[in-house]
Amino acid sequence: MKEILLPRVWILRWLAVGWPALSILMALLFTTLVLLMAGAPPLEAYRQVLEGAFGSLRRATDILVAWVPLMLVTSGLLLTFTAGLWNIGVEGQIVLGAIATTGMLRALQHTDLPPPMILVLAILAGMAGGAAWAGLVGLLKVYGGVHEIFGGLGLNFVATTLILWLIFGPWKRPGIGSMSGTEPFPDWLVLPTLPGLRLSPWALGIALLGVALVYVLLRNTHFGLRLKAVGKNLRAAHLLGVPTTRYLFLALLGCGAMAGLAGSIQVAAVYHRLIPPISSGYGYLGLLVAMLANYRVTWSVPVAFFFAALNIGSIQLPITLQLDSTLSGVMQGALVLFVLLTQGVRARWQAKATSESDNGA
Whether residue 121 is contained in a domain is answered as yes
Predicted TM-score (pTM) of this structure: 0.89
Whether residue 287 is contained in a domain is answered as yes
Instruction: Cite the beta strand spans of the chain per DSSP E.
Output: none
DSSP one-letter string for 108-133: HTTSSS-HHHHHHHHHHHHHHHHHHH
Q: What is the DSSP letter of 361?
A: -
Number of structural domains found in the chain: 1
From the list 173, 210, 234, the residue with the least C-alpha distance to 70 is 210
Whether residue 172 is contained in a domain is answered as yes
Q: Looking at residue 317, what is its pLDDT?
A: 79
Whether residue 42 is contained in a domain is answered as no
Q: Looking at residue 10, what is its pLDDT?
A: 58
Whether residue 160 is contained in a domain is answered as yes
Q: Looking at residue 5, what is its pLDDT?
A: 47
Whether residue 179 is contained in a domain is answered as yes
Mean pLDDT by 10 residues, the chain (361 residues): 50 57 80 83 86 89 95 96 94 97 95 94 97 96 91 95 93 76 92 93 96 93 93 89 92 97 96 93 91 88 91 82 74 79 74 64 55
CA distance 283 to 91: 5
Q: Which residues span the domain enclosing 89? A: 57-292
Ranges of H-type helices in 145-240: 148-168, 201-220, 222-232, 234-239
Whether residue 316 is contained in a domain is answered as no
Tell me if 65 sits within 8 A of 255, measured CB to CB: no
CA distance 75 to 217: 11
Whether residue 45 is contained in a domain is answered as no
